Structure formats: structure tokens, C-alpha cells
Amino acid sequence: MTIGKQAPKLKAGDEIRILSPSRSLSIVSEKNRLIAQQKLEQLGFTVSFSQHVLESDDFTSSSIESRVADLHEAFADSKVKGILTAIGGYNANQLLAHLDYELIGSHPKRLCGYSDITALSHAIYAKTGLITYAGPQFFTFGMQQGNEYTTAYFQRMMLEEGSIQIQSSPEWSDDTWYLDQDQRIFHRNVGPYAIHEGEAHGTIVGGNLCTLNLLQGTPYMPSLEGTILFVEDDYGSSPATFDRDLQSLLHQPGFDQVRGIIIGRFQQASHMTEKLLRKIISSKKELASIPVIADADFGHTTPQFTYPIGGKASICARNGMIDLEICE
């Protein structure tokens, strides 16, 4: 098992570097970029941008060389204390064989992002032991409504000491907020539910499921032994593809020592239902003896809590009650 080490907590005045290891920040409107920057500055941070953050090619990304250079520069810069990825995408795994993990491990920073960034965050954790974070990206802070929960849990994880008891958000959304900040659609959140009850404590691994599976059989896949897995998927998923991707993860070495699974809320376009998800989970004999929790507040819907990859989680699901606690 990789031994987790953490970068120092952030504090007021610290510099956060924005970079684009997947898609380019240029796909985010200038208006929403400015909102995001101002929000982070209101939280007390200094915001800087990497040299190639707006570079864009035929894949709305940039060259491997540009992305690697920006990442190395951010880790090497002693003024930079945190790193926020601009947005997700499809190709962060292109960088993994080109990274200087000795440089990264010897200059620990708090790197945060989700979706395609799952490949990058887990590779860094697997190769260096540095705890990384699944949570909001720079793009996320451009949201003007319904972002209070996301912001609060980001602050708790990044600035405050001690463990964090995860409470459910009062409402959630899966709308295209970035196209129209005024016409928003919110749904009442009934909270997570237990497919299998039980108790577990373990090391946190996981994020976007189909991206995590890209690491299977590579040096960039963390050990699954003694873990609690956090998994979610996006609008491109379906019940059938989620079933297939989950089964692939179950086949990995060490899965028999996974202690629990927490599943993030599905996007509406996936057409996943509680009935179908229960059927998928019940078909996996590997999961019969461990707690499985669904509809937690992370993934591609909003809002989302921030959690540490390589940190610790405790689950207690008994008699319809669910307690989730995370810490570094």
C-alpha cells in the first residue's frame, strides 16, 4: 500500500496555480473565468495561471510538452502552494510517462480536480505517495448559484485541521449552468442510501470510474488493498457501461481486500436508477460482504465535497442511517 503524505494546509494569501493538464481553459468563457478567479480571491487566495493554460489544438487541449512543462513549473515554484486543474477532458493520461515524479514528490502541493484528472491524481499518489484531491476544478468556481456546499467542503479540506463529517447537500443540480447562470434547475436531495449496510475504515482511492480503469495494469494504478473506493461516472455512462467498468475494477489484484464502496450521484443522461444500480451491485458476489453506499455528493453533478486520494474514510451504515467521515 502506498503511504500517503500530505502537502501543508493552505492559508490566506497562498498562491493557487491554474493549469490545463486535460482540456484547455480556453473552452471556458472569459466571463466565467473571471467569476472563478474572483471567487478564489474572495476566499483569500492569490490566483496565477500557467503559461500554456489557454493553448488549444484540434482536440481542445495542448501538446504533451506544454502540459508537462506547466505541471513541472507549478510544482517547482516555491510560491505556489496549491494547484487547481482548469477542467476535465479525455487525455490527462498522455502525461503520465513524461512526468518527473521525483520533482513532484519533493515539492508537495495540493493538487485538486476531478473527471479526467482522476488519471493524473492517482498516478501522482501511486508514484510518490503524495495525497491528491478529488474536488472542484477552476471551472467549478465560475458557478454563481448552488455552489455554497462545494466551496465550504473545499475550504474545510484545504484550510482546516481535523476530520470532516460529510453531510448531504440540501439540493443538487445537473443543468448546463455555464450556459445560463440565471435559469438554474435544482432538485431536493434526499441523501445517500445503502445498498449494503455495514462498517468500514480504509484508505481512499477512486474518482471517475472509466478514467481510473485506464490505469489498470500500469505503474500508475494505486494498490486497492485496504481501501474504500469512491467511484462515479458522467453523462457518457449508462447502466450497462457502468456495470462493465465496475466489473473490470473488481477483477483487479487486491480487490478482495477492498473494504467498502461509495458511489457518487449519476448524471441524469446516464439513465441510471436506484432499481438498476441495486441490480448491478447485487450481481457482484465480490461486494456481498462490504458496505456499498450510493448517491453521495461527488462526481459530475453539483454540488460536491472534496476528498483526499490517499486519505482515510470511515463508513457506518446501519438501520437506514449513514455516517461518512473523511480525513487526511
Note whether residue 319 is domain-resident: yes
The answer to whether residues 76 and 138 belong to one domain is yes
The answer to whether residues 102 and 187 belong to one domain is no
Q: How many helices (H) and strands (E) does the chain have?
A: 8, 16
pTM here is 0.97
The answer to whether residues 179 and 299 belong to one domain is yes
Which DSSP state fits 267? P
Annotated active-site residue 102? The verdict is no
Question: What CATH number should be reported for the domain holding residue 55?
Answer: 3.40.50.10740
The total number of structural domains that make up the chain: 2
Task: Count Cβ atoms below 10 Å from residue 193 Cβ, excluding itself.
Answer: 16
Note whether residue 6 is domain-resident: no
Domain finish residue from 159, 177, 192: 159
Could you read off the pLDDT of 99-137 as tens digits, one per residue? 999 999 999 999 999 999 999 999 999 999 999 999 999
Helix, coil or strand: residue 156: helix
Q: How far apart are CA 208 and CA 276, in angstroms?
A: 19
Annotated active-site residue 232? The verdict is yes
> Where in the chain does DSSP place strands (E)?
15-19, 46-49, 80-85, 110-113, 132-134, 164-165, 171-172, 187-188, 193-196, 198-205, 227-231, 260-264, 292-296, 307-309, 312-318, 321-327
Could you read off the pLDDT of 254-287 as tens digits, one per residue? 999 999 999 999 999 999 999 999 999 999 999 9
Angle, helices 239-250/274-282, rounded to nearest 10 degrees: 30
| Choice among 20, 22, 50, 232 that is catalytic | 232
Domain that holds residue 64: 15-159
Annotated active-site residue 171? The verdict is no
Q: How far apart are CA 22 and CA 60, in angstroms?
A: 9
The answer to whether residues 151 and 171 belong to one domain is no
Q: What is the pLDDT at residue 1?
A: 40
Could you read off the pLDDT of 136-157 as tens digits, one per residue? 999 999 999 999 999 999 999 9
Look at the block and give the residue holding cell 440565471: 182
Q: How far apart are CA 45 and CA 10, in angstroms?
A: 9
Instruction: Provide the pLDDT confidence category of residue 4 given band limits of 50, 70 and 90.
Output: confident
Note whether residue 174 is domain-resident: yes
Note whether residue 5 is domain-resident: no
The answer to whether residues 130 and 191 belong to one domain is no
The answer to whether residues 177 and 275 belong to one domain is yes
The answer to whether 302 touches 148, Cβ cutoff 8 Å, is no
The answer to whether residues 102 and 224 belong to one domain is no
Please state whether beta strands 307-309 and 187-188 pair in parallel, antiparallel, or not at all (unpaired).
unpaired
The answer to whether residues 168 and 196 belong to one domain is yes
Domain finish residue from 159, 175, 195: 159
The answer to whether 218 touches 119, Cβ cutoff 8 Å, is no
Domain finish residue from 159, 193, 220: 159
Which DSSP state fits 53? T
The answer to whether residues 251 and 310 belong to one domain is yes
Question: What CATH number should be reported for the domain holding residue 301?
Answer: 3.50.30.60
The answer to whether residues 202 and 276 belong to one domain is yes
The answer to whether residues 191 and 150 belong to one domain is no
Note whether residue 10 is domain-resident: no
Q: What is the average pLDDT score of the chain?
A: 97
The answer to whether residues 290 and 150 belong to one domain is no
- Pseudo-torsion of CA 191, 194, 200, 201, nearest 10°? -20
Note whether residue 183 is domain-resident: yes
Question: 214 Cβ partners below 8 Å, 6+ apart?
Answer: 93, 119
In the predicted structure, residue 299 carries a pLDDT above the cut 90: yes
Overall residue count recorded for the chain in this entry: 328
Q: How far apart are CA 308 and CA 328, in angstroms?
A: 6
Note whether residue 4 is domain-resident: no
| Choice among 22, 24, 115, 173 that is catalytic | 115
| Choice among 20, 52, 300, 328 that is catalytic | 300
Note whether residue 100 is domain-resident: yes
- Cell numbers at residue 304, please? 460536491
